[in-house]
């Protein structure tokens, strides 16, 4: 969940190398050592899903890969493997801006948006070369399954979750492919037409990054998945669907910076009006809560929303901790400020906040003071009918915390697909960023390791997202027709009950 972000920039002498040249192994190993030490000191979620032995093992592998000079992009892929392996959707490791801009110049990208439908990679764009809905079997003789497996590291998810990676594939397939397999002038695509098995080969030309983005904006599935990739203009809505059913859609929790922000206050007023109406209208027995596009946001939007759906006191989490009060390796920290004096002031303010919220040292970790995690009460006009919660792989951070609370602590019927955010907990709240001194690769992660206030359930698995009671995926025919499979399923389920 996105709280105030400390973004830091530290200027060191730049070890300049062309993107086409190889970096000395010594320089890469220096960066990898710093990358490892930073995460051991600052990343409270380092061993959340992996044992120390497993983490040590992947670093042993990484060091073994850089005994010889390497191009920056190859070193970057190694670091990405580690970033993804840790299992936090708030992890993000990026190339230097100037390098990525140069590396992505020219007509080098796969031209068509794609989408994973029924575990198949299909064309998601009306065009004259490869028909919409065609299944891609291989590109440049690389099988689609191998391509997908190789691209997963570019989009991090919580724990062992895989479903959420479909969001990254859907939005950035061409970019990931170019980074993984290099710039291409042409693509030999082996595909089959919709609902056919005969394989066809066709060579198509690469396009520019601008054209790639333009094609994505004009993808076929835009009417259904537009909110998954763009911050919603209409962030929330409420409507009566029938005489006994209402629909509350909350597409993001990026609704004001804090509890006093006017945007949050307007949202709170909106919720009050919706649930006051529901409490006064005894005919509406069913409430569909649609958070399928909710990738997270700021406190207390998630908690306030939940307070209208529960009848029990609750907390945001059962525990939360960080592993430092003073920034380790501060010489590599990325600051917002650039002047030395202002950087020191920013550093002190940040550390003072940590010491206030996480004052208690236990077993090497600093735990959250209870005043920052108070017992909260349900809103008086909370909904007492049947809740139907719609979830998807897009749901992350504050969105998944909200979905976990509803799925775990109410009698909601959960419909859709597993969330990318964890059910039992995640690392969130406060993202920090470091820059490696030689390559200038930046790495970001969130430092608060929290356990969500949810019970154990037979269908909820450690290291996985919220698991639906009814798994409902979009069918291929619904994809072609742009039908909302999950919502239609839910309405039918309500009719049957």
Q: Is residue 489 part of a domain?
A: yes
Q: Is residue 251 part of a domain?
A: yes
Angle, nearest 10°, between helix axes 165-181 and 209-217? 160
* Alpha carbons 164 and 156: distance in angstroms, whole number: 8
Q: Is residue 282 part of a domain?
A: yes
Q: Is residue 194 part of a domain?
A: no
Confidence (pLDDT) at 20: 62
Q: Kindly give the parts of the chain with pLDDT less than 50.
A: 1-18
Domain count, the chain: 1
For residue 306, give the CATH number of its domain.
3.90.226.10
For residue 93, give the nearest of 424, 437, 433 by alpha carbon: 433
Q: Is the dihedral of CA 240, 241, 244, 249 positive or negative?
A: negative
Confidence (pLDDT) at 230: 81
User: Would you state the structure tokens that stand for residue 196, as one six-digit string?
Assistant: 């056919």
Q: Is residue 190 part of a domain?
A: no
Confidence (pLDDT) at 4: 36
Confidence (pLDDT) at 492: 97
DSSP states along 145-204: HHHHHHHGGGS--STT--TTHHHHHHHHHHHHHHHHH---SEEEEEEE-TT---EEEEEE
Confidence (pLDDT) at 16: 38
Can you say whether residue 313 is alpha, beta or left, with left for phi > 0 and alpha for psi between -120 and 50 degrees?
beta
Q: Is residue 4 part of a domain?
A: no
Confidence (pLDDT) at 11: 32
Q: Is residue 60 part of a domain?
A: no
Q: Is residue 381 part of a domain?
A: yes
Domain range for 459: 229-496
């Amino acid at each position: 969940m996105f709280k105030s972000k400390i973004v830091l920039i530290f200027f060191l002498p730049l070890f300049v190398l062309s993107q086409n040249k190889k970096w000395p192994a010594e320089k890469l190993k220096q960066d990898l050592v710093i990358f490892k030490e930073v995460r051991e000191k600052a990343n409270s979620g380092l061993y959340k899903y992996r044992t120390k032995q497993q983490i040590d093992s992947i670093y042993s592998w990484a060091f073994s890969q850089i005994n010889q000079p390497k191009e920056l992009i190859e070193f970057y892929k190694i670091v990405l493997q580690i970033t993804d392996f840790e299992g936090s959707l708030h992890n993000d490791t990026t190339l230097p801006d100037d390098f990525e801009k140069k590396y992505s110049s020219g007509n080098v990208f796969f031209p068509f948006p794609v989408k994973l439908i029924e575990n198949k990679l299909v064309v998601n764009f009306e065009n004259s070369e490869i028909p919409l809905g065609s299944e891609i079997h291989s590109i440049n003789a690389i099988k689609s399954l191998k391509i997908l497996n190789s691209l997963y590291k570019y989009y991090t998810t919580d724990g062992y979750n895989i479903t959420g990676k479909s969001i990254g594939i859907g939005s950035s397939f061409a970019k990931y492919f170019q980074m993984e397999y290099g710039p291409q002038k042409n693509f030999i695509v082996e595909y089959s037409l919709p609902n056919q098995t005969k394989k066809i080969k066709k060579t198509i030309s690469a396009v520019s990054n601008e054209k790639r983005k333009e094609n994505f904006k004009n993808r076929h599935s835009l009417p259904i998945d537009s909110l998954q990739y763009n911050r919603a203009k209409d962030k929330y809505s409420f409507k009566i669907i029938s005489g006994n059913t209402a629909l509350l859609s909350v597409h993001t929790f990026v609704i004001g910076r804090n509890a006093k922000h006017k945007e949050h206050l307007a949202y709170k007023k909106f919720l009050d009006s919706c649930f006051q109406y529901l409490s006064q209208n005894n005919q509406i027995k069913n409430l569909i809560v649609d958070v399928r596009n909710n990738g997270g946001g700021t406190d207390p939007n998630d908690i306030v929303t939940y307070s209208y759906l529960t009848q029990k006191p609750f907390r945001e989490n059962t525990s939360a901790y960080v592993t430092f009060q003073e920034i380790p390796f501060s010489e590599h920290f990325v600051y917002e400020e650039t002047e030395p004096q202002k950087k020191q002031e920013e550093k002190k303010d940040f550390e003072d906040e940590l010491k206030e919220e996480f004052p208690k040292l236990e077993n090497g970790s600093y735990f959250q003071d209870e005043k920052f995690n108070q017992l909260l009460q349900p809103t008086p006009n909370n909904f007492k009918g049947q809740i139907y919660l719609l979830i998807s792989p897009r749901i992350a951070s504050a969105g998944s915390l909200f979905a976990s609370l509803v799925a775990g602590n109410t009698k909601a019927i959960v419909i859709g697909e597993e969330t990318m955010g964890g059910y039992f907990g995640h690392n969130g709240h406060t993202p920090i960023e470091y820059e490696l001194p030689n390559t200038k690769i930046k790495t970001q992660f969130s430092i608060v390791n929290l356990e969500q206030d949810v019970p154990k359930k037979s269908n909820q698995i450690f290291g996985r997202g919220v698991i639906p009671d009814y798994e409902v995926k979009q069918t291929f025919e619904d994809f072609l027709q742009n039908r909302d499979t999950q919502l239609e399923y839910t309405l039918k389920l309500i009719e049957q009950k």
